[in-house]
Chains A and B, each alone.
Chain A
Amino acid sequence: MPRISVKIVGASGQGINSIGAIVAKGLKRSGYCVFGYREYPDLIKGGHASYQLDVSNERVRSTETKVNVLVALNHHGLELNMEELKESGIALHVTPGWQFPERHQKLIKERSLRVIYFPVDDVLTRLGAKAILSNVLLTAFVWSMFDQDVDALKSLVGEKFAQKKALLELNMRCIDEGYSFVDPEEGKISVALPSPNKEFSSHLLVTGSQAMGLGAIHAGVRLYAGYPMTPSSPLLSFIAGLEDKTHMVVKQAEDEITAAQIVSGAMYMGTRALTATSGGGFDLMSETVSLNAMIENPTVFVLAQRPGPATGLPTWTAQGDLLQAVNTSHGEFARCVLSVSNSQDAFDLMPVAFNLAEQYQISVIVLTEKQIAEALYTQEPYDLEKAEIHRGKLVTDPEKLKALKSSDRYDPNAEGGISPRWLSGSDAATYCAQGEEHDSMGIVDETWGNIKSQMEKRMRKFHRLKAGLPEPRLGVASHGEKNTAWMDEGDEIELLVIGWGSTHDVIQDVMCSEELRERKIAYLHYTYLWPLCTQDLQKLAKRSQRIVLVEQNYQGQLGMLIRMECGLDIPDKILKYDGRPFFYDELLSLLLEKFVDTTKGRRVFASTSTKEKNFRGPEPAGSSS
């Protein structure tokens, strides 16, 4: 897959995101697949931030550590990011009279880098434009480097300023200036893009948060309550931004406990309601999760992960809260934990999560990550026919309501433990959604027989849920997600990779690489993380020369769950816990090492040996086995 990358770096608030967003949209409309990745510190102004676009005419969904073009909006970018440039890469900067230190001069020679100084201040003064328009100048220059049509950029920028004529004209002049700029020393610069694929031009550019928001609205969510916490806040903002169109009730609550309670009250009443938070906020919601288990109230919580403990790293990514989602809250009860992995299933899984919640009358925890929440995906328009709304044993028919008895609500003999549910305001026998252990009507009942039968009723839902959940998805190198002949014939799998969440997309790209596309490598992706289905895994494990677990946490939390569920120990792990996602070239080289060394690291059951090594992105490091 041909891939080109451009990275815009500078201080937070300098307009990195606006350049990134315009270039991304422009390239996408021209027929390119774009994947956007943001790094930024936990502050509003200043600090060092970046926005990287990886571009291809094929599907690209990962970030490389090395880039073709570096756009430095300040000299810190020149100091910090020069080494990320590839052979014959381009450094575009705006710092007058910048003298590169010796090591960078050497680098420029060795890698045949080209350095372009764009005198933004001179041009802006000449045009009488404000400093913020330097972003337009640079965007237009990047546009010309990619040999893209200037009118396409003009129409894109024009959409933003259609109502402000004076501003529009100034923007257009900046585009002309930026587009026609030629560096006196380097001459005309051109970065060759592969030929476009027009299919991408009709695609959407969405973040995982927007995808999830669209999915939630599609699923019939009518009330959203949340408390701001990165990286869940973009979902709250997106839903709130659409409230005049969707007519939803949107409430910014006073804390996460409130958000969880409001949503629980609304679900009890019978609408579909959603809240989202990050790990610390979810700690506060956990008592409510337990409450919902006792009153069998369907609820959906989005848990957007960032590295902890404590405030940790608010603007960085992690998969460190899997065990939190699976184990949080007191008492024993059924719950479902699932994880999105990209903009496709962030959309698709929202109706699924609500269906599961209502069908089993349980809480569903949907995991996402900062990486997914804020990455920019090129996404084909969503299929709006696919999703169905299933509300389980919700009774609304007046005749059926009349026939209900109070004792039907928590009937301990209900099949699969799932009893009828009906709503306040329904002309029927009433019941109590009782937070204390109760009988079939919700009356507090502490007799041993009742306690036992109600616990068993609720836990039967866990067993039924486990039996009904899909097995993990299998992907095979260069062959998408279908079984290939070699899989069917039962040949040995050279390398079986196991992962979840955002790892999915990076591995898909890696498996399409020249180096791996012909190898017998398979990737087993866990979307449904609790209850955990391990049948397929165990079958595949028997046929694999080597198994490796890939996770973005320190302990290998999915590996811990797998071992707990079926005894399969996976000592061979690629673990990353430095706040960065897996990068394409990094994961590729880590997986290649596993092939070199196939004699070591055979699976061991119930072994306790684990060795991990921290990777320091963006430079790929080795792994251990």
Chain B
Amino acid sequence: MNTTLQTTPPGLSEYYSETKCTWCDGCGDYGIWTAVKCALVELNLHPWQVCLCYDVGCHGNGSDKIQGYRFHGLHGRVIPFAAGAKLANMKVPVIAFGGDGATFSEGIGHLVHGLRSNYPITFVLHNNANYGLTTGQASSLTWQGQPMNTSPNGIPERTLASMDFIFSLEPTFVARGFSGDIKLMTRILKAAIQHRGFAFVDMLQACPTYNHFATHEYLLERYFDANADGHDPSDLQQAKTLAAQVQDRIACGILYQREDIPDFYERLTPRRGLETTCVEEVRKYDVSEYWRELV
């Protein structure tokens, strides 16, 4: 994140929208939505300074319930769009949001390559362990055996071990939040937005309408702030263990972080030493130098 800090700090009200919220009562989206606004304000970012990219799903219905330059795209495709936006203008912080259906089914390839590329963006996973907006089908993060719309006998597939999967891709930032703890989520999001590369933020959230297994109460009973318990985010082995153990207690907070790995843009040899962004460089170019070898 490298936006120039403004002299007038933003107020939370700058992010208010006239659009009424349409999420179900008790939906985890309210908490995440609030924490995002808090984090941006605490980072001194005005709405015009940020780019918020939404995938399709219940969370994506928040795209018109906040201020900022926003994009609401196709199901599963938010990561590459956000990456393209960021690479074009490195001066604007780019935050992408996606649900567990989009991220671990439709667009899982993008997640793999987003992590591998270490794009300098933040990715917030709205993880309610089902497809809410299409009325409660199982996602690959739904518990196996759980009866859902279209799978009345429970899904035959195994549940994807999402954190093992994420860590197998050598991430540079992994955090987990809970939609019931805005203070914790705000702390995580601020660190994620300031992270050097691809920040993966798993937000566990309730889906009161369709998720009757990992409910708000279920998560509330089990989550804890691992950093407050002394977890050091530079400890990879500890981070992996904490991330994967979700049966009795669910470790939240910044699970893993390293700032010594260059992001994708920093690895682009042709961009080294350039102060300008691709957006600022659009003009007509003299290409005669490039055809000299062709004469």
Which residues of A line the B interface, CB within 8 A?
202-206, 210, 214, 217-220, 222-223, 225, 242-251, 253-255, 257-258, 261-273, 287-288, 291, 295, 351, 381-382, 384, 387-389, 391, 423-436, 438, 441-444
Q: A266-B84, A269-B279, A387-B284 are in contact. Are A424 and B294 (CB under 8 A)?
A: no
Distance between Cα atoms of A261 and B98 in the complex (Å)? 15
Give the contacts of B123-165 with A (CB-CB under 8 A): none
Smallest beta-carbon distance A507→chain B, Å = 26
Tell me which residues across on chain B come within 8 A of A271, comparing CB atoms.
Answer: 88-89, 277-279, 281-282
14 contacts between A and B (CB under 8 A): A205-B294, A244-B270, A246-B290, A247-B271, A247-B281, A248-B270, A254-B109, A255-B109, A265-B84, A268-B85, A273-B278, A288-B74, A291-B73, A389-B282
Tell me which residues across on chain A come within 8 A of B291, comparing CB atoms.
Answer: 204, 206, 210, 214, 381-382
Distance between Cα atoms of A432 and B69 in the complex (Å)? 6
Q: Is B56 an interface residue (CB 8 A)?
A: yes
**Sample of 5 further A-B pairs with CB below 8 A, known A250-B268, A254-B110:** A220-B281, A291-B73, A424-B50, A425-B91, A436-B72
Q: Is B213 an interface residue (CB 8 A)?
A: no
Q: Is B288 an interface residue (CB 8 A)?
A: yes
Contact of A389 with B294 in the complex, beta carbons under 8 Å: no
Q: Is B64 an interface residue (CB 8 A)?
A: yes
Which residues of B line the A interface, CB within 8 A?
3, 19, 46-51, 53, 56, 61, 63-64, 67-74, 77, 80-89, 91-92, 109-110, 112-113, 265, 268-271, 274, 277-279, 281-291, 294-295
Contact of A435 with B74 in the complex, beta carbons under 8 Å: yes
Distance between Cα atoms of A253 and B114 in the complex (Å)? 10
Contact of A433 with B287 in the complex, beta carbons under 8 Å: no
Contact of A384 with B269 in the complex, beta carbons under 8 Å: no
Smallest beta-carbon distance B2→chain A, Å = 11
Contact of B92 with A253 in the complex, beta carbons under 8 Å: no
Among A225, A247, A272, A389, the most chain B Cβ lie within 10 Å of the Cβ of A247
Distance between Cα atoms of A391 and B283 in the complex (Å)? 10
Smallest beta-carbon distance A173→chain B, Å = 26
Partner of B92, one of A204, A214, A387, A424: A424
Partner of B77, one of A261, A351, A387: A261
Among A246, A271, A423, the most chain B Cβ lie within 10 Å of the Cβ of A271
Q: A261-B77, A428-B48, A430-B68 are in contact. Are A203 and B295 (CB under 8 A)?
A: yes
Tell me which residues across on chain A come within 8 A of B281, comparing CB atoms.
Answer: 220, 222, 247, 271
Partner of B64, one of A242, A243, A444: A444
Distance between Cα atoms of A247 and B277 in the complex (Å)? 11
Top 3 nearest A-B pairs by Cβ distance? A265-B84, A262-B84, A261-B80
Contact of B72 with A261 in the complex, beta carbons under 8 Å: no
Tell me which residues across on chain B come within 8 A of A247, comparing CB atoms.
Answer: 270-271, 274, 281
Contact of B282 with A433 in the complex, beta carbons under 8 Å: no
Partner of A253, one of B70, B80, B279, B295: B80
Contact of A262 with B81 in the complex, beta carbons under 8 Å: yes
Partner of A431, one of B70, B73, B84: B70
Tell me which residues across on chain B come within 8 A of A426, comparing CB atoms.
Answer: 48
Tell me which residues across on chain B come within 8 A of A272, comparing CB atoms.
Answer: 282
Tell me which residues across on chain B come within 8 A of A222, comparing CB atoms.
Answer: 88, 278-279, 281-282
Contact of A249 with B287 in the complex, beta carbons under 8 Å: no
Contact of A270 with B89 in the complex, beta carbons under 8 Å: yes
Contact of B73 with A435 in the complex, beta carbons under 8 Å: yes
Contact of B87 with A262 in the complex, beta carbons under 8 Å: yes
Smallest beta-carbon distance B84→chain A, Å = 3
Contact of B69 with A266 in the complex, beta carbons under 8 Å: no
Smallest beta-carbon distance B206→chain A, Å = 23
Tell me which residues across on chain A come within 8 A of B290, comparing CB atoms.
Answer: 214, 217, 242, 245-246
Smallest beta-carbon distance A595→chain B, Å = 40
Smallest beta-carbon distance B216→chain A, Å = 26
Distance between Cα atoms of A494 and B131 in the complex (Å)? 65
Tell me which residues across on chain A come within 8 A of B73, comparing CB atoms.
Answer: 261, 291, 295, 435
Distance between Cα atoms of A244 and B289 in the complex (Å)? 13
Contact of A258 with B80 in the complex, beta carbons under 8 Å: yes
Closest A residue to B18 by beta carbon equals A443
Contact of A435 with B70 in the complex, beta carbons under 8 Å: no
Smallest beta-carbon distance A35→chain B, Å = 15
Smallest beta-carbon distance B68→chain A, Å = 5
Distance between Cα atoms of A203 and B110 in the complex (Å)? 44
Partner of A202, one of B279, B282, B295: B295
Q: A220-B284, A384-B288, A434-B72 are in contact. Are A442 and B89 (CB under 8 A)?
A: no
Q: A218-B285, A287-B74 are in contact. Are A434 and B81 (CB under 8 A)?
A: no
Contact of A384 with B294 in the complex, beta carbons under 8 Å: no
Among A202, A268, A381, A428, the most chain B Cβ lie within 10 Å of the Cβ of A268
Contact of B84 with A263 in the complex, beta carbons under 8 Å: yes
Distance between Cα atoms of A384 and B286 in the complex (Å)? 7
Smallest beta-carbon distance A428→chain B, Å = 6
Tell me which residues across on chain B come within 8 A of A351, comparing CB atoms.
Answer: 284
Tell me which residues across on chain B come within 8 A of A434, comparing CB atoms.
Answer: 63-64, 70, 72
Distance between Cα atoms of A494 and B279 in the complex (Å)? 52
Closest A residue to B47 by beta carbon equals A430
Q: A258-B113, A262-B81 are in contact. Are A425 and B92 (CB under 8 A)?
A: yes
Smallest beta-carbon distance A92→chain B, Å = 27
Closest B residue to A206 by beta carbon equals B294
Contact of B69 with A430 in the complex, beta carbons under 8 Å: yes
Contact of B84 with A264 in the complex, beta carbons under 8 Å: yes
Smallest beta-carbon distance A204→chain B, Å = 4
Smallest beta-carbon distance A580→chain B, Å = 26
Partner of A249, one of B51, B64, B70, B268: B268
Contact of A291 with B74 in the complex, beta carbons under 8 Å: yes
Contact of A433 with B70 in the complex, beta carbons under 8 Å: yes
Smallest beta-carbon distance B11→chain A, Å = 15
Q: A242-B290, A387-B284, A443-B64 are in contact. Are A425 and B71 (CB under 8 A)?
A: no
Contact of A295 with B71 in the complex, beta carbons under 8 Å: yes
Tell me which residues across on chain B come within 8 A of A427, comparing CB atoms.
Answer: 46, 48
Partner of A261, one of B3, B81, B287, B288: B81
Distance between Cα atoms of A222 and B48 in the complex (Å)? 23
Tell me which residues across on chain B come within 8 A of A203, comparing CB atoms.
Answer: 295
Contact of A433 with B72 in the complex, beta carbons under 8 Å: yes
Tell me which residues across on chain B come within 8 A of A387, comparing CB atoms.
Answer: 284
Tell me which residues across on chain B come within 8 A of A432, comparing CB atoms.
Answer: 63-64, 70-72
Among B67, B113, B282, B289, the most chain A Cβ lie within 10 Å of the Cβ of B282
Closest B residue to A253 by beta carbon equals B80
Partner of A424, one of B64, B69, B83: B69
Distance between Cα atoms of A222 and B49 in the complex (Å)? 22
Distance between Cα atoms of A268 and B83 in the complex (Å)? 12
Among A217, A246, A249, A254, the most chain B Cβ lie within 10 Å of the Cβ of A249
Smallest beta-carbon distance A450→chain B, Å = 13
Partner of B83, one of A205, A262, A384: A262
